[in-house]
Amino acid sequence: MVGRFQPIHNGHIQAIKQILSETMELVVVVGSAQLSHTLENPLTAGERVYMLHEAISSEGLDLSRTFIITIPDIQFNSVWPAHVRSYAPPFDVVYTSNPLVTTLFEEVGVKVRHPTMYDREECSGTNIRRLMLAGDSRWTKLVPASVAAVLEELQVTQRLRSISKSYEHSNFQPRN
Amino acid sequence: MVGRFQPIHNGHIQAIKQILSETMELVVVVGSAQLSHTLENPLTAGERVYMLHEAISSEGLDLSRTFIITIPDIQFNSVWPAHVRSYAPPFDVVYTSNPLVTTLFEEVGVKVRHPTMYDREECSGTNIRRLMLAGDSRWTKLVPASVAAVLEELQVTQRLRSISKSYEHSNFQPRN
Amino acid sequence: MVGRFQPIHNGHIQAIKQILSETMELVVVVGSAQLSHTLENPLTAGERVYMLHEAISSEGLDLSRTFIITIPDIQFNSVWPAHVRSYAPPFDVVYTSNPLVTTLFEEVGVKVRHPTMYDREECSGTNIRRLMLAGDSRWTKLVPASVAAVLEELQVTQRLRSISKSYEHSNFQPRN
Amino acid sequence: MVGRFQPIHNGHIQAIKQILSETMELVVVVGSAQLSHTLENPLTAGERVYMLHEAISSEGLDLSRTFIITIPDIQFNSVWPAHVRSYAPPFDVVYTSNPLVTTLFEEVGVKVRHPTMYDREECSGTNIRRLMLAGDSRWTKLVPASVAAVLEELQVTQRLRSISKSYEHSNFQPRN
Amino acid sequence: MVGRFQPIHNGHIQAIKQILSETMELVVVVGSAQLSHTLENPLTAGERVYMLHEAISSEGLDLSRTFIITIPDIQFNSVWPAHVRSYAPPFDVVYTSNPLVTTLFEEVGVKVRHPTMYDREECSGTNIRRLMLAGDSRWTKLVPASVAAVLEELQVTQRLRSISKSYEHSNFQPRN
Amino acid sequence: MVGRFQPIHNGHIQAIKQILSETMELVVVVGSAQLSHTLENPLTAGERVYMLHEAISSEGLDLSRTFIITIPDIQFNSVWPAHVRSYAPPFDVVYTSNPLVTTLFEEVGVKVRHPTMYDREECSGTNIRRLMLAGDSRWTKLVPASVAAVLEELQVTQRLRSISKSYEHSNFQPRN
């Protein structure tokens, strides 16, 4: 299962539960590992691993059947499936609802399944980050309680605000 | 001669013919080699080399006087002409209608010529990809028949559609 | 002090003077060193070093207390402060008005100060590049005379025009 | 705790047990993640994660208190601790017996502890890979039984032999 | 067919002839494209493409059935076959006598064949470069006449000598 | 003038004096900027800039005519002169005694001069680092007093010792 997990939310948890019911072992692939401290990607790879671990553990899911892997982006779309293959434990099936990820893996002969859909409009990283930035606490209903706790411990709302102010700013930014 | 060739079209063929009539040998430089599976850059470097080779061969042009070279992007605009120099057989003149390419090569003392213009509005990669995505078969008139055959063999229309759907999608994408 | 310096202007000079009055030594960090020949970043790293050196020297500021450092971008925001640390002479305080730079350095325990503000609306790289492109000579009032002389010597207005024309152009560009 | 784990052996297991007895949570950092299919680094990052997971699980150690992280090498030694920081969940202490790792982390103010020593001469990745290549089954005594099973499943002995033959070979090698 | 071609020699030509007799089309992959101006890799990627083109053409082989592709090294051995796949026109079989290349492609399900062996001791890039450096003209017997002419035109013997002197030199070298 | 400056020594100072007597301005290029914390390259780029600045200043040389530039290595020897060009202020002549640097710049049409030779056997970075590691204080005679002071302030002898111990160590090293 592939995602950026900025942050992990209830839709992801539902998909993880479904996959663990259908397979022996689950590899959660945290993509764009190099990105952090942007409006789209506030959390570091390590913070996302920590949050995922806490979520899986607090939801009573089986850590012994779950792997969490981080993968930095590469320049080559066509090489990306091989990149995932080299960072992940051996796997047979990719779960994704993304058509491009589907195409890339199918072009190299990997089987792809689509997890059952949840309400993407509301329960999405984009919406959660928007609510956090607006100071609207309804985002806490869209993620497990353990994740809300981690995001508060890491002061992610404050981080999003300082990033947001930087984007209005004409000066240098370390990464746009 | 420098281009991305996503895909090669009749305007490129016309320029290739002109250059082969004016010079001994032609180096076709396929830029942005690392990009593929995006709306702007659907084809891999290898697919573009294959398509160019088929086009040059089927148009009866002289393969013994033509080199096809692929070059991945680099971070440094100012270093780019040296990068082309290291990947390409020795060359004396650059053919381009792009003002920045002109500036970069002239700044390091390389002679630049401008190929005769064709109708850029209609015969452009952008327009061809737009027509393919819209299911409008008029794109097949803008490329050589051999290129239309390669693009159908590689199922590029289907690939463009799956990429297009991914762009509407809120989930992870391996490369935007 | 961190910036892209495309180009250095009177606001930067004012900040440099302030910092040199408050500290023993100043490290001027030229960020995005790899970028040049774009509308946002017309000058190479080396051209910016040359321009900064001329400006500091002609303003009668103390070169023996000033270091000029160039730093290419890296993929990792969270690693960026360590990257600056490895390229710069030892430093104790970062001067920046950018909230993200502030956050990144404070997260790793580095003290941050904010230079006194100048009129950012008018005196900004963006405005100066816009005026140069428009052929409006008022930009020469926003930079030291020595900088205006360097920019004319390097023919930056002409370079901006050729880049600008390339952006309207449907063909290949070495870097977007 | 930092290592390459090519492969994990009884010395590593002893150190993991010690650290888990002294701390709340353990982050196992798999370095040189990009290296595989060399005599020094036969296993991919994903294979190493799989092997570590199996070892920790079969030794009855607590997966809910253990994180496994993979980190590709970077060019900059001085930036390496920040790189580890960005990929790993938050940590307070580094366990290492390597003097350079000690120096790098201490220079940026991170506390370092040294795990109790085991017999490095015999129980080392170098010795295990040497025995595997020589067809000497004594290597199976130096690793947990679960690790020996994984290495046989992955056919690592055969892979080492084909790499070894390539090194004697005058022809091209994808990576030395 | 994969190689570094530093330079192309009679053994390569024999293998090319064999492959063209067994297959419809041949892709010649020039590896380590980024390397040049070292004792092991004197020629740039572009110079190697030029030399290969001249050799294939002067040997009367069929350029319309032959592709010449350059590929820079990547950090990941395990990702290398996907990298070749993205740069090369579609292919079904890999010809190599290298055991690691064999293993890497077979692990991802690509068929590998071994070209008939020639005398590797004498006819090898290593031996040819050694003879050139020693001023021993017998190297000209190990390559096609067209290749000897290209190497003289490019003054490769002189380049090898200046590289060799640099290696004895205690000072800075741009790349070892 | 190009070097790694690990560390700067009396031979470098002599060459700097010679060049400043022959030219208007001097650009000191600090190569391999990314390397530090190795036996061959103990100092970071920033530490080398600091040391060079102190040396030039304390020797009474003219900082207003001197630029100090740091350049990370790139993969491509043949592109390296263009890389130097993009990081350095405009220059007309390269001073080097290295035959490969000479060849690379001459191949792209840049004039090269050779500084007068000093005793390379004794006065070399290699010898100085060897003496430091051996605890032999004679190294302090081979560098300006200001440089000896900087190296002691930065505790470089201790750093070399911890690196040296790591090299004897069978465990993981962040970078060899």
Q: Is F76 on the interface with B (CB under 8 A)?
A: yes
**Alpha-carbon span E68 to E53, nearest angstrom:** 8
User: Residue B120 — pLDDT band, cuts 50, 70, 90?
Assistant: confident
Residue E7, preceding peptide bond in cis (omega within 30° of 0) = yes
Residue D75's pLDDT is what?
80
Tokens of residue D24, six digits = 């709340």
How far apart, in whole angstroms, are the C-alpha atoms of residue F163 and residue C37?
41
Q: Cβ(D87)–Cβ(A45) under 8 Å?
A: yes
- pLDDT value, residue A168: 66
Task: Give this complex's ipTM.
Answer: 0.91
Which of F41, F64, F74, F154 is the mutation pick for testing C, counting most C CBs within 10 A?
F64
C48-64 pLDDT per residue, tens: 999 999 999 999 999 99
Share of chain D above pLDDT 90, in %: 83
Which residue from F120, A43, C94, D171 is spatially nearest to E3, judged by alpha carbons?
D171
pLDDT number for residue E62: 93
Closest Cα partner for E108 from D68, D174, D30? D174
pLDDT recorded at residue D135:
96
Give the tens place of pLDDT for each residue, D55-72. 999 999 999 999 999 999
Q: What is the pLDDT of residue F50?
A: 97
CB contact under 8 A, D172 and E4: yes
The predicted pLDDT at position F168 comes to: 65
Question: What pLDDT band is residue D168 in, cutting at 50, 70 and 90?
Answer: low
Residue from B40, B100, B117 whose CB has the most chain C CBs within 10 Å, to mutate: B100
**Helix, strand, coil fractions of chain E, as percent rounded to 5:** 50, 10, 40
From the number of C-beta atoms within 10 Å of its C-beta (0-12, 13-18, 19+), residue E164 rates as middle
- In a domain, residue A72? The reply is yes
E17-39 pLDDT, tens digit each: 999 999 999 999 999 999 999 99
Mean pLDDT on F40-57: 97
Q: Has residue E172 been placed in a domain? A: no
Put simply, whether F37 touches D (Cβ < 8 Å) is yes
Phi-psi region of F109 (alpha: psi -120 to 50; beta: other; left: phi over 0): left
Average pLDDT over residues F96-120: 88
Q: What is the pLDDT of residue C168?
A: 65
At residue C84's C-alpha, the angle toward residues C82 and C85, to 5°, is: 60
- pLDDT tens, residue order, chain A (176 aa): 999 999 999 999 999 999 999 999 999 999 999 999 999 999 999 999 999 999 999 999 999 999 999 999 888 899 999 999 999 999 999 999 888 899 999 999 999 999 887 767 788 999 999 999 999 999 999 999 999 999 999 999 999 998 998 876 544 445 43
Query: The tokens of A53 are what?
Result: 């671990």
Within 10 Å of residue C99's Cβ, how many Cβ atoms? 20
Both tokens assigned to D141: 């005594």
3-state secondary structure of E70: strand
For residue A51, give both structure tokens. Answer: 């949050």
Do F3 and E172 touch, CB atoms closer than 8 A? yes
Residue whose C-alpha is closest to residue C29's, from C52, C55, C56: C52
3-state secondary structure C20-86: HHHCCCEEEEECCCCCCCCCCCCCCHHHHHHHHHHHHHHCCCCHHHEEEEECCCCCCHHHHHHHHHH
Radius of gyration of chain C (CA): 16
Closest CA to A43 of A172, A160, A165: A160
What is the reported pLDDT for C97?
Answer: 86
Nearest Cα residue to F170 out of D4, D48, D132, D106: D4
pLDDT digits (tens, 9 = 90+) for E66-111: 999 999 988 889 999 999 999 999 999 999 988 889 999 999 999 9
C-beta of residue C2 within 8 angstroms of C-beta of residue C94? yes
Three-point CA angle B114, B119, B120, nearest 5°: 75
The answer to the question of residue C175 being in a domain is no
Q: Which pLDDT belongs to residue D74?
A: 87
d(CA E147, CA E125): 13
Find the length of chain E: 176
Task: Determine what percent of chain E is predicted with pLDDT higher than 70.
Answer: 93
Instruction: Report d(CA A62, CA A41) in Å as an integer.
Output: 27
> Does some domain include residue C173?
no
Residue F175 has pLDDT above 70, yes or no: no
Look at residue D170 in the predicted model and tell me its pLDDT: 46
Exposed e or buried b per residue across D150-170, where buried means at least 16 C-beta atoms within 10 angstroms of its C-beta: bbeebebbebbbbbeebeebe
**F48: part of which helix (H) or strand (E)?**
helix F45-58
pLDDT for the residue A97? 86
**How many angstroms from the chain centroid is the CA of residue D140?**
17
Closest Cα to residue E28, out of E40, E36, E20, E37? E20
Task: Say which range, B158-172, C2-16, F110-124, has the weakest mean pLDDT.
Answer: B158-172
What are the structure tokens assigned to F27, written together? 């650009």
| Cα E61-E64-E67 angle, rounded to 5 deg | 90
The b/e string for B53-85 (b: 16+ C-beta within 10 A; e otherwise) is bbbbbeeeeebeebbbbbbbbbebbbbbbbbbb
Q: Could you list the residue range(s) of the whole structural domain that residue C73 is in?
A: 2-167
Question: Which residues of chain F have a CB within 8 Å of the CB of C86?
Answer: 36, 44-46
Token digits for B29? 């430089």
The answer to whether residue F77 sits within a structural domain is: yes
Tally of domains within chain A: 1
Rounded distance between C-alpha atoms, residue E158 and residue E37, angstroms: 11
Inspect the interface and report whether the beta carbons of D47 and A90 lie closer than 8 Å. Answer: yes
Q: What pLDDT was estimated at residue A167? A: 73
Task: Confirm or reject contact between A173 and chain C (CB < 8 A).
Answer: yes
The pLDDT of D98-103, averaged and rounded, is 90
- Per-residue pLDDT band for C169 (boundaries 50, 70, 90) equals low
* Identity of the residue in E72, E159, E169 whose CB atom sits nearest the CB atom of F98: E169
User: Given a cut of 60, is residue E173 above it in pLDDT?
Assistant: no
Which pLDDT score is estimated for B173? 46
Average confidence score pLDDT of chain D: 91
The pLDDT of residue A124 is 92
Q: Which of B114-123, B141-150, C133-142 has the lowest mean pLDDT?
A: B114-123
What is the structure's pLDDT at A174?
52
Is residue D174 situated within a structural domain? no
Task: Reply yes or no on whether the pLDDT at D176 is more than 60.
Answer: no
User: What's the pLDDT at F53?
Assistant: 97
Provide mean pLDDT across the span B77-103: 94
CB nearest E166 (choices: F2, F98, F125): F98
Q: What is the 3-state secondary structure (H, E, C) of B89-148?
A: CCCCEEECCCHHHHHHHHHCCCEEECCCCCCCCCCCHHHHHHHHHCCCHHHHHCCCHHHH
- What's the longest Cα–Cα distance across chain F? 51
What are the residues facing B66 on neighbouring strands?
B26
Q: CA E76, E81, E85, E87: dihedral to nearest 10 degrees?
A: 50
Characterize the bridge pairing of strands B2-3 and A111-113.
Answer: unpaired
Q: What percent of chain F has pLDDT over 70?
A: 93
C82 touches chain D (CB under 8 A): yes
- Domain containing D23 — which CATH number? 3.40.50.620
Q: What is the pLDDT of residue C75?
A: 80
Name the residue of chain B whose CA is nearest to A78's CA: B36
**Mean of the pLDDT values across residues E131-159?**
97
Radius of gyration of chain E (CA): 16
Average pLDDT estimate for C120-134: 91
Residue D111's DSSP bridge partners are D93
Judge whether F49 is closer than 8 Å to chain C, CB to CB. Answer: yes
Burial category of F61 from C-beta neighbours within 10 Å (exposed 0-12, middle 13-18, buried 19 and up): middle
- Whether chain A has a CB inside 8 Å of the CB on E115: the answer is no
Closest partner residue to F67 (CB to CB) among C36, C49, C64 is C49
What's phi and psi for B143, nearest 5 deg? -130, 160
d(CA D135, CA D133): 5
Amino acid at position B38, single letter: T
Q: Supply φ then ψ for residue F77, to 5 degrees.
A: -55, -45
Of the candidates F49, F63, F68, the beta carbon closest to that of C64 is on F63
Check CB contact of D47 with chain A, cutoff 8 Å.
yes
Mutate to test the interface with E, among A77, A79, A87 (most CBs of E within 10 A): A79
The closest CB to that of E86, out of A78, A85, A86, belongs to: A78
Sheet holding A66-70, edge to edge: A2-3, A26-30, A66-70
What's the N-to-C CA distance of chain F in angstroms? Answer: 27
The reply to whether B173 falls in a domain is no
Amino acid at D130: R
> Does residue E173 sit within a domain?
no
Residues A17 and A61 sit within 8 Å (Cβ to Cβ): yes
- Residue-level pLDDT at A173: 46
Q: What is the pLDDT of residue F173?
A: 46
pLDDT tops 80 at residue C171: no
Q: How far apart are CA C8 and CA C1, in angstroms?
A: 12
- Confidence (pLDDT) at D169: 59
Say whether the B–F interface has 3 or more Cβ pairs within 8 Å. Answer: yes
Share the mean pLDDT of chain B.
Answer: 91
Question: Is the per-residue pLDDT at B170 higher than 70?
Answer: no
Q: Extract the tokens encoding A126.
A: 């984009």
Mean pLDDT (whole number) for B90-96: 96
Confidence of residue B175 (pLDDT cuts 50, 70, 90): very low
pLDDT reported for residue B172: 46
Place of tokens 């088929």: B54
pLDDT of residue D167: 72
**Weakest mean pLDDT among A162-171, B30-39, B66-75:** A162-171
